[in-house]
Amino acid sequence: MKAIFALLAFSFSSVASAACYIIYSPSNEVVWQGDSPPVAMNTLAIDNEVQKKVRKGHMVILIDSKAPCPAIDFTTPRKTMRQKAEEMKNS
């Protein structure tokens, strides 16, 4: 009986988290994507939170999407090839 309740709880929790959050740049390029919210969702000014992460960007939330939602984050500065090579040489 406990196993049934655990299975039901797991199935409802996975349904509740079956969302894909995508932030697009002003030119409609994907800048951020993931299955957890990229900004605080407990505010009425979600758009302002998105603007803090990506200037003039907009967010789309796909709920119950069957498509995969791989993590993408181009909002943080990335290292150049030279920096990566130095890192590899020093390690």
The tally of domains found in the chain comes to: 1
pLDDT at 44 over 80: yes
Residue 42 lies in a domain: yes
Q: Is residue 2 part of a domain?
A: no
DSSP reduced 3-state for 80? coil
- Tens digits of residue pLDDT in 51-75: 999 999 999 999 988 888 999 999 8
Dmax (CA) for the chain in angstroms is: 58
Does residue 11 lie in a domain region? no
- 22 within domain boundaries: yes
The pLDDT, as a whole number, for residue 64 is: 86
pTM of the model: 0.64
- The per-residue pLDDT for 17 is 54
Per the prediction, the chain carries an average pLDDT of 82
